[in-house]
Amino acid sequence: MGFFTTLESRVREIDSLLCVGLDPHPDDLEVQTAEAARDFCLRLIEATWELAAAYKPNAAFFEALGAEGFAALREVISAVPQGIPVILDAKRGDIASTARAYARSAFDVLEADAITLSPYLGYDSLAPFLERAEKGVFLLCKTSNTGSGDLQDLPLAEGGLLYEKVARSARAWNRRDNLGLVAGATHPEALRRVRRAGGDLWILAPGVGAQGGDPEAALQAGLRPDGLGLLVPVSRGISRADDPHKAAAELAADFRRVRDRLAAGRAHAPRTEAGAHLDLADGLLAAGCIRFGEFTLKSGLKSPIYIDLRRLASHPELLARVAAAYLPLLRELRFDRLAALPYAALPIATAIGLQGGWPMLYPRKEVKAYGTRVDIEGEFEPGERAVVIDDLATTGGSKFEAIEKLTGAGLEVEDVVVLVDRQSGAAEALAAGGYRLHSVLRLDEMLAHWEASGRVSAERIAATRAFLSAG
């Protein structure tokens, strides 16, 4: 059983999203001893255990007290009632051999159920912590501190921000239902983007209370459509209250009220949640836009998957949903006109233009020998900015051909937006040329979703992954 299955069971059992932080800050202790730190935390556990979906002791406050502090931390974790997950807030991150030692310390010596880790060293530094499905990891993604943007907000050549790359990577690495993310409640718009990039992953959202995070904004940005997927840790807001039990109860009740109000609003609103994109992937599968079997490609290779998004023109309702999925990406970009690539993207861009109110043009595949004999169909002025719209990104070759025609006519191009990124080198090739690729869906995300849901057999998923990796 994966860690998050256990966590979700606890959340449902007590109907609470509250994670109680156990931070024996020096200012809260009458004497700076391990015994005082231990007793401080034991009193909090006794006062809040009926309300806590999880506990989060901060290792630093205990380690600062030496060997006795480490022993006190072990006692505190042991005192948490059975069935309530304990997340060790240690923010570890080191090479694999050292990471294995840290994992033994956290999971075998301290007997924590989960730990916070840094992603900076890559997957091999996380692997020792992820080997046991029942032990969880929360990966630092977009942290709550004011300086988090120094590195985490850096833009990537492939498009998006660094923290979004971390979230997408975590989705791919979550093979045992035991990897989640940390995204601060102090940055609700970033939290929203983490939810979108991270899909259904659980998110630990610190920053409510003393750091000033708005719980309603955090819940609105971070909850999954099912009302789960977000754990809100609060430390000083409970420990420094006159009545910690009452403070915890009020927080848990407030989170429930906000969650229920948001759920009621969703029931009467168009679907815009992150999960809607995976529903879109299911729609493409059902419409035959994506098929599995054996197909001969233009190159002569035999492929176990075939993507034909030209079929969208025969499915108007699905086409409208596809167009709507482009809108959030486009609204973050600067452009004057949509530039659709023939032929599959023509109906898509038309639907986008109708929904977003943007004018469209398109570069012809071939120039007519009569009439206007133009390369570009549609009205525009030289110097205007065009965003390239296409259905699929594979190697990027067709995008460069179109961009050459557009720029040759005096248009400026910086961004390419597609429905599906096959992840076959287009992002890298475009970045090398000075262009950014943005995608609604990535093929690895779709495969993982269909594998988890059972919509496509494991054999076909494995064959497709092998084919893609070989290419």
Q: Is the domain of 304 the same as that of 210?
A: no
Rg for the chain (alpha carbons), in Å?
25
Residues 6+ apart with CB under 8 A from 312: 287, 289, 318, 319, 322, 344, 347, 348, 391
Which residue carries 């999880």 as its tokens? 54
Residue 272: band (very low, low, confident or very high) from pLDDT cuts 50, 70, 90: very low
In terms of pLDDT, which residue wins out, 468 or 142?
A: 142
Query: What confidence score (pLDDT) does residue 273 get?
Result: 40
- Residue 267, pLDDT > 70, answer no
Ranked by mean pLDDT, the top range of 150-159, 232-241, 295-304 is: 232-241
Report residue 157's pLDDT band, with 50, 70 and 90 as the boundaries: confident
* Res 61 pLDDT > 60: yes
Final residue before a domain boundary, out of 232, 266, 300: 266
Give yes or no: residues 50 and 156 share one domain.
Answer: yes
Residue labelled with tokens 């997408």: 168
Q: How many domains does the chain have?
A: 2
188-238 tens-digit pLDDT: 999 999 998 888 899 999 988 777 788 889 999 999 878 899 999 999 999
- Give the full edge-to-edge strand order of the sheet including 360-363: 376-377, 360-363, 337-340, 385-393, 412-421, 436-442
**pLDDT single digits (tens) 348-375:** 999 999 888 889 999 987 765 555 567 8
> Which residues fall within 8 angstroms of residue 230, CB to CB, at 6 or more apart?
17, 202, 203, 205, 218, 219, 222, 223, 224
Residue with tokens 């005192």: 79
Q: How far is CA 297 from the centre of its chain?
A: 32
- Final residue in a domain of this structure, among 266, 295, 318: 266
DSSP letter assigned to residue 357: -
Is 56 designated active site? no
Q: What is the pTM of this model?
A: 0.60
**Closest of 198, 232, 184, 230 to residue 56, by C-alpha:** 232
pLDDT in tens, 388-417: 999 999 888 889 999 999 999 999 999 999
Same domain, 362 and 388: yes
Mean pLDDT of 88-98: 95
Q: Sheet holding 179-183: strands in order across?
A: 54-57, 18-22, 230-234, 203-204, 179-183, 136-142, 114-117, 87-92
pLDDT value at residue 172: 85
pLDDT of residue 291: 95
Tokens of 144: 């709550």
Tell me: do 409 and 447 sit in the same domain.
yes
Given this model, what pLDDT does residue 395 score? 84
CA distance 179 to 203: 9
Distance (Å, rounded) from C-alpha 167 to C-alpha 184? 13
Q: Do residues 80 and 148 share a domain?
A: yes
Write out the residue range of the structural domain in which residue 453 sits.
275-470
Q: 32 and 120 share a domain?
A: yes
Is 301 found in the same domain as 172? no
Of the candidates 232, 202, 214, 219, which has an alpha carbon nearest to the alpha carbon of residue 260? Answer: 219
pLDDT, mean of residues 35-59: 97
Looking at the structure, tell me whether residues 22 and 138 fall in a common domain. Answer: yes
Q: DSSP 3-state helix, strand, coil percentages of the chain (rounded to 5)?
A: 50, 20, 35
* High-pLDDT (> 90) share of the chain, %: 70
Helix axes 96-104, 123-130, angle to 10 degrees: 30
Q: Which residues contact 110 (CB under 8 A, 6 or more apart)?
A: 73, 74, 77, 88
Please give the pLDDT value at position 347.
Answer: 96
Return the minimum-mean-pLDDT range out of 58-72, 156-170, 358-372. Answer: 358-372
Q: Is the pLDDT of residue 76 over 80?
A: yes
**Which region among 30-34, 185-189, 211-215 has the lowest average model confidence (pLDDT)?**
211-215
Do 301 and 421 reside in the same domain of the chain?
Answer: yes
Question: Residues 171, 84: one domain?
Answer: yes
Cβ atoms of 231 and 54 within 8 Å: the answer is: yes
Instruction: Provide, rounded to the nearest whole percent, the portion of the chain with pLDDT above 70.
Output: 95
Q: How far is CA 3 from the centre of its chain?
A: 18
Tell me: do 100 and 240 sit in the same domain: yes
Following DSSP, what letter does each residue of 48-106 receive, concatenated?
HTTT-SEEEEBHHHHHTTHHHHHHHHHHHHHHSPTTS-BEEEEEE---HHHHHHHHHII
Q: Which residues pair with 418 in a beta bridge?
A: 390, 439
Instruction: Return mean pLDDT, the chain.
Output: 90
Query: Where a domain ends, among 266, 286, 302?
Result: 266
Give 273-287 pLDDT, tens digit per residue. 444 577 788 889 999
Q: In the structure encoding, which two tokens stand for residue 317, read together? A: 């309702």
Query: What is the domain-level CATH number for residue 152?
Result: 3.20.20.70
91, 165, 246, 399: the catalytic one is: 91
The average pLDDT across 66-88 equals 97
CA distance 195 to 181: 9
Q: Identify the band that residue 269 occupies on the pLDDT scale cut at 50, 70 and 90.
A: very low
Which phi and psi (to 5°) does residue 22 adopt? -110, 90
Residues 55 and 181 in one domain: yes
